[in-house]
Amino acid sequence: MVRALALSAALMAATPVLAEDGKEAVTTFTLDNSMDVVVVEDHRAPVVQHMVWYRAGSADEPIGSSGVAHFLEHLLFKGTDTLAPGEFSATVAANGGNDNAFTSYDYTAYFQRVAADRLELMMQMESDRMRNIRLSEDDIATERDVILEERNQRTDNNPRALFGEQMNAAQYLNHRYGVPIIGWRHEMETLDMEDALSFYQTHYAPNNAILVVTGDVDPDEVRSLADQYYGVIPANPDLPERIRSQEPPQTAERRLTYKDPRVSQPYVQRSYLAPERDPGAQEKAAALFLLAELLGGGTTSYLNEKLQFEDQVVTYAGAFYRGVSLDDTTFDLLVVPAEGVSLQEAEDAMDRVVAEFIAEGVNEEDLDRIKMQLRASQTYARDNVDGIGNRYGRALTSGLTVEDVQAWPDVLQAVTGDEIIAAAREVLQLESSVTGWLMKDDEVTQ
Amino acid sequence: MVRALALSAALMAATPVLAEDGKEAVTTFTLDNSMDVVVVEDHRAPVVQHMVWYRAGSADEPIGSSGVAHFLEHLLFKGTDTLAPGEFSATVAANGGNDNAFTSYDYTAYFQRVAADRLELMMQMESDRMRNIRLSEDDIATERDVILEERNQRTDNNPRALFGEQMNAAQYLNHRYGVPIIGWRHEMETLDMEDALSFYQTHYAPNNAILVVTGDVDPDEVRSLADQYYGVIPANPDLPERIRSQEPPQTAERRLTYKDPRVSQPYVQRSYLAPERDPGAQEKAAALFLLAELLGGGTTSYLNEKLQFEDQVVTYAGAFYRGVSLDDTTFDLLVVPAEGVSLQEAEDAMDRVVAEFIAEGVNEEDLDRIKMQLRASQTYARDNVDGIGNRYGRALTSGLTVEDVQAWPDVLQAVTGDEIIAAAREVLQLESSVTGWLMKDDEVTQ
């Protein structure tokens, strides 16, 4: 959950530093206290992005304290022994930069984007709040109201978000991915000082953190500063092993119906439990990624060609796969029925067309076109210094390595049509799926 | 999960001791270390049932360690400093008694039934294993195989049980009641010494236990023995508050289909989230209890009269409500379609008849008949010494008091037809329900 949108990237003229193999110039090392460091050089402009990623997200929360990871993220903008509440962001701004933070299932991350010569100041402040936050009961009460209002705006006022929560809860029988990142309201209301500090003391430590620095920096200088500011913080010897509750075999097809008078556009969503990208074994995830592109990635995709243009039974069709995840993720299909078409008809049409896709096999021209688009977009992604840091931070907190991140484009290019069909047959199983209908009321057609 | 059936009750001639108000003669007190004691006198035969109930069940397990409460229950039959593995039960048997244990969501209980003059020996041994178990790695490996085989027999070889697991997992979005008591197999396989001892050290302590003694005993003597054997064990000062993750609002009707070639009899089950009996406030639970009796309690119930005999669309209809539960429980309906009737038709018929029942209101003659049957069965229940201890132990580990247990028959008698209809309207909401189809294969009719 990004606390606020931080958009400031000015496109630069030159290209970033690339190693001989055409990949980004990445330097990695580990401090004596086991803190990992990733440096990506990009000298096109005198700016730096400084990020600290913790291997702790909402799926690492204790039972009954949902939302505490995100709550703590907010509280890290309060004071420390040496910084008054709010002084952190004010100092970044006074130095011409901006800062923010975000929380997801598998990580919490803090970042500043600032002129490259201010990197030391950022490290000084960020390392300070890794161990020294000081919270008052007033901070707790105020910020709890803030996250409750955030839930109000993002979720409770949004039928699609509420529907998504129920879908997730039905998808995961045992894993914490079934609990929303922002938290269940009734549990958020009970979050207190002890919950926040307990999560902080357990998970916020150098041996559970990854420093990602991208921009106009020299890796040796980054190492020297990192040693000075982060390297002196003792590792937490009691850091728990990161074990999550895994899913049992999913053996029963699930369906749910969510009705809300605020729904303006009913739709059908199908969610399948799906494997994630694993270190050194990203092939199946790459096949699923391409499957999503082929089926529902844009107006020329298979589902849209058949359902939107030929049969005219939907006004939108999409397929989604998020491969970066520590544990099992989902593969999702979504269809919005056209006027006069029922949700059942739209769902039946979707199932029919997916079955046809699998029976026909992959059209090689479509696959080649998508691979070419990916090559282009990956090159473009390098131009955005925010994106590079996010890519490495997300991957490393989700169990992947720098090598996996760098190999991913080639893994994608190597996927064959047969592998895509095999992955579809394996993953698109009703037994491990949830089918949801988002409805305005009892009317079956709009 | 009862480790083995322990049936030995010989019906006695006389009636148990009753207090002036016609209720059981119950004496309660608390030891200095906060251990609760309940004594129910019954001098009809020189036998005693000695039970220790821990306020710790599968819903108190840590994330990822499902099954550890039941695993530990097995391990308590291994050795202590002074008892060799197996010696506990052998000693009970050598004294002419029998013993066993069982685990549920909210409790784990150990009991012996033996001649009344052997009570002291039982207390000596049971208090010993409250704090002094000694486990070898061999015990862990052996007993883990035993519980895995137990899961195999009870669950994995039983499509109805597997279906029930998926129903529960879909019913509870956030609460641990969605996880099976015996555990998910993949988590049971990882249970080790540390998991078992951690659960033991956290939850097994006198201030988390209830001693229930029923039979031919004198309360003063029980108190004296309890002081001597249990009273000397220090309370655990770090006993955690018993907080469970509660459900968020359930807003989406769920459905699931479980197919298994071993299914001989397909059926439809509907499960609704329902309130449990709360201390001092059992009225709504009593209304639900009577609702289940009226709708599906036997062949003369409303669902059976309409569906089995009039319309002949089902061969069985049932309604179930378990009110003794620490947190939200379920109200369940079940219909088995007759030959040639589809699951959808049976479900539709069930929904139609339940709606008719609510619209018509309660037939007062039916209600009176059921209340009279309950009076009779409650009197009969007192004749079984096993039943009395279970009734108090279950209630007390589920947040109820002795007064609640004793008030329950009168609360049931006071429920009106209007209250039953109001409870039905409140609880039988599709938004908080799961509808499951247990099927052999894709055939819709059998």
pLDDT of residue A14: 37
B217-242: pLDDT as tens digits: 999 999 999 999 999 999 999 999 88
- Beta-carbon separation of A256 and B255 below 8 A: yes
Contacting residues of B for A174, CB less than 8 Å apart: 66, 169, 178-179, 184, 187
Q: Which residues, in sequence order, are CB contacts of A379 under 8 Å at separation 6+?
A: none
Q: Which residues, in sequence order, are CB contacts of A254 under 8 Å at separation 6+?
A: A170, A171, A433, A434, A435, B170, B254, B255, B256
User: Nearest-CA neighbor of B327 among B363, B264, B274?
Assistant: B274
User: Nearest-CA neighbor of B446 among B287, B264, B271?
Assistant: B264
Contacting residues of B for A259, CB less than 8 Å apart: 431
Q: Which residues of B are catalytic?
A: 73
Describe the strand order of the beta sheet including B98-103 as a list of residue ranges. B26-30, B36-41, B209-215, B47-54, B108-115, B98-103
pLDDT of residue B379: 65
Whole-number Å distance between alpha carbons of B325 and B321: 11
The reported pTM is: 0.81
- Beta-carbon separation of B64 and A169 below 8 A: no
Q: How far is the CA of B132 from the CAs of A120, A341, B127, B233, B242, in angstroms?
A: 56, 68, 9, 11, 24
What's the whole-number average pLDDT of chain B?
91
Interface of A to B at Cβ within 8 Å reads 62-64, 66, 162-163, 165-167, 169-170, 173-174, 176, 178-179, 184-187, 243-246, 248, 251-260, 430-431, 436
**Residue pointed to by tokens 């294993």:** B129
- Beta-carbon separation of B169 and A173 below 8 A: yes
- Beta-carbon separation of A252 and B166 below 8 A: yes
Q: Is A165 within 8 Å of A155 (Cβ atoms)?
A: yes
Shortest Cα–Cα distance, A96 to chain B (Å): 43
Token pair recorded at residue A340 = 């006069």
Residue in chain A lying closest to B173 (CA): A169
Shortest Cα–Cα distance, A353 to chain B (Å): 20
Contacting residues of B for A169, CB less than 8 Å apart: 173-174, 248
pLDDT of residue A16: 47
Tens-of-pLDDT digits for all 446 residues of chain A? 333 322 222 223 334 455 556 667 899 999 999 999 999 998 888 999 999 999 999 999 999 999 999 999 999 999 999 999 999 999 999 998 899 999 999 999 999 999 999 999 999 999 999 999 999 999 999 999 999 999 999 999 999 999 999 999 999 999 999 999 999 999 999 999 999 999 999 999 999 999 999 999 999 999 999 999 999 999 999 999 887 889 999 999 999 999 999 998 999 999 999 999 999 999 999 999 999 999 998 888 999 999 999 999 999 999 999 999 999 999 999 999 999 999 999 999 999 999 999 999 999 999 999 998 888 777 666 656 568 899 999 999 999 999 999 999 999 999 999 999 999 999 999 999 999 999 998 765 54
pLDDT of residue A384: 60
pLDDT of residue A5: 26
Shortest Cα–Cα distance, B184 to chain A (Å): 6
- Beta-carbon separation of A258 and B252 below 8 A: yes
Shortest Cα–Cα distance, B211 to chain A (Å): 29
pLDDT of residue A243: 78
- Beta-carbon separation of A170 and B166 below 8 A: no
**Residue pointed to by tokens 């006074």:** A94
Chunked into runs of 10 residues, chain B (446 residues) has average pLDDT values of 30 44 82 96 90 97 95 96 93 92 96 95 97 95 96 93 96 96 97 97 97 96 97 95 89 95 94 97 97 92 94 94 95 96 97 98 95 79 70 95 94 97 98 96 63
Contacting residues of A for B178, CB less than 8 Å apart: 173-174
pLDDT of residue A256: 96
